[in-house]
Amino acid sequence: MGKHVACFIASAAIAFGANLAAAQSAPPASSAAIAVPQIKFTQFTLGNGLRVVLSEDHTLPVVTETMVFDVGARDEHKGRSGFAHLFEHLMFEGSKNAPKGVFDHLVEGYGGNDNASTHEDYTIYYENVPSNVLETVMWLDADRMAALNVTEKNMKNQISVVEEEKRLRVDNAPYGPLLYTDLSANAFANWQNSHSVIGSFQDLDAATLADVQEFFNEYYAPRNCVLAIVGDLDPVKTEAMVRKYFAWIPNRSKITPVDTAEPAQAAERAATVHDPQAKLPALAMAWHAPKRGTDDFYAMAMLGQLLFSGESSRMYQGLVKNNPVALQVGGGLGFPSADFTDYRAPGLFSALVIYKPNATAAQVEDLVYQQIQQVEATGVTAAELERLKTKFSSDWLQSEQTTLDRSELLALATLFDGSPAAANDQLSKFLAVSSQDLERVARTYLTHARSTVVQDVPGPAPAPAKDGGK
């Protein structure tokens, strides 16, 4: 769909620096021997509540500025679904001193790139630019935080864009409704958790300019934002610039809190949906998962990697290769709308299996549980656990090579875990997970009573029977 849609687009790779390079230059003998590179940072909070994290890296003359706002679909009120995603678009429609088109013109004119994405629990914006352009993008971000130009015309235009995106990416995409609306709608009882990020046409069409302005005043305020800047910067000079451009911005309306508590689930939930765009049947399964930052959270994340990550995973080997009923499997903690890196409870551990027409949904469900029960019964061998952790470490280090990745990691650690320092602690906690931990969480969380099973049947829904007909 291009820019400013709800799909996060990463930048080109930028080297992490000497610490990461040294960590990757010689493969470790075991996961226990991995030297976890530490991201150096400074942090401060402005008087208006804006939390700021700076990380200096002079490897290349490039800098990334990331703003993460503590607002996602879960924060929306009934009747206003899709507002968080709508603002992802509106934030590029111009502000008081940078009319529509100026933002992208300046960023791209200097050889940079920018984008944004909306999630269940946050909305993120970033710019990758040459380091001598940092002050320009700081001015641009501050101007839209302070004085976004929300007009009736802009609002109606972007509502149309969002609705077209929903048609393309959800309504008319194979398995789109299953993954992005139906699974959460059935797995959660609380509307705050069950409605989709992209929202409904009914709510978007009913939006007024006053509604949209109120949403901006509540959530797009300094106190509700984390600003992370990573790359070729001078921390002292950069802090002075941050204070110059952001410290004067006032907070506006108070946030009206929502209740995201999810009642305990006592029995399996099941549903069937019809998918005109699908060519093959699919089965989605979801289980309520633990709170972020707990021992069970780290174990569930690693269990997701064990079961679903790559062709060596348990589910791929069990359902695609050795007992070939499936063509595709996917899943893990936070799947499909997030993953363990940006997971926040209430959340799901989910699976998707696209399977062959000669198989049944019941067979697929049984095979999924067979893989889970094998972990419950015997855990994993030392060799398999070592391979799992080595691959996990490699993926983790590889994914944090860019200034964009590190700015996002620091910002989300600040938002979700209370401190950017958590970004430096997480890998070690994942690597501390034992076979017994995997057994425990599989047995505790992946039960029938905690599950939601949604069968996706190819083709349109059958026509309703006529009254009195046989």
Taking only the tens place, the pLDDT of each residue in 269-310 is 999 999 999 999 999 999 999 999 999 999 999 999 999 999
Given strand 282-288, what is the order of strands in its sheet?
269-275, 451-458, 282-288, 348-355, 326-333
Please give the CATH superfamily to which domain 269-458 belongs: Metalloenzyme, LuxS/M16 peptidase-like (3.30.830.10)
Handedness of CA 217, 223, 225, 227 (dihedral sign): positive
Which residue in this structure is represented by tokens 């006032």? 250
Q: Compute the distance between CA of residue 384 and CA of residue 124 in angstroms, rounded to an integer.
A: 36
Q: Residue 470: what pLDDT?
A: 45
What H or E segment, with its residue span, contains residue 99?
A: none
Cα 51 to the center of its chain, rounded Å:
21
Which residue in this structure is represented by tokens 């931990």? 437
Q: Residue 393: what pLDDT?
A: 94
One DSSP character per residue, 349-378 reads EEEEEEE-TTS-HHHHHHHHHHHHHHHHHH
Handedness of CA 426, 427, 433, 438 (dihedral sign): positive
Q: Residue 323: what pLDDT?
A: 87
Q: Residue 28: what pLDDT?
A: 41
Average pLDDT per run of 10 along the chain, which is 470 residues long? 38 28 38 75 98 97 98 96 97 96 96 96 98 98 96 96 95 96 97 96 96 96 98 98 98 94 95 97 98 97 97 96 94 92 95 97 97 96 96 90 95 97 95 97 97 97 69
Which three-class secondary structure state does DSSP give residue 33? helix
One DSSP character per residue, 244-297 reads HHHTTPPP-SPP-------PPP-S-EEEEEEETT-SS-EEEEEEE-PPTTSHHH
Q: Compute the distance between CA of residue 381 and CA of residue 396 in angstroms, rounded to an integer.
A: 22
Q: Compute the distance between CA of residue 334 and CA of residue 97 in angstroms, rounded to an integer.
A: 39
Handedness of CA 312, 318, 322, 328 (dihedral sign): negative
Q: Compute the distance between CA of residue 172 and CA of residue 253 in angstroms, rounded to an integer.
A: 38
**Measured at the alpha carbon of residue 429, what is the angle toward residues 427 and 434, in degrees to the nearest 5?**
120
pTM higher than the cut 0.75: yes
Measured between its terminal Cα atoms, the distance across the chain in Å is 46
Domain boundaries, the chain: 40-246, 269-458
One DSSP character per residue, 302-354 reads HHHHHHHSSTTSHHIIIIIISS--EEEEEEEETTTT--GGG--SS-EEEEEEE
Distance of CA 213 to CAs 38, 154, 221, Å?
A: 41, 12, 12
Question: Which amino acid, one-letter code, is at 427?
Answer: L
Handedness of CA 282, 330, 84, 155 (dihedral sign): negative
Peptide bond into 250 cis (omega under 30): no
Question: Which amino acid, one-letter code, is at 60?
Answer: L
What is the domain class of 40-246 according to CATH? alpha beta
Q: Residue 3: what pLDDT?
A: 52
Q: What is the pLDDT of residues 147-197, one digit of tens each?
A: 999 999 999 999 999 999 999 999 999 999 999 999 999 999 999 999 999
40-246 matches 269-458 in fold: yes
Handedness of CA 297, 298, 302, 303 (dihedral sign): negative
Per the document, the length of the chain is 470
Cα 228 to the center of its chain, rounded Å:
17
Torsion, Cα 371 377 378 380, to 10 degrees, reads: 40
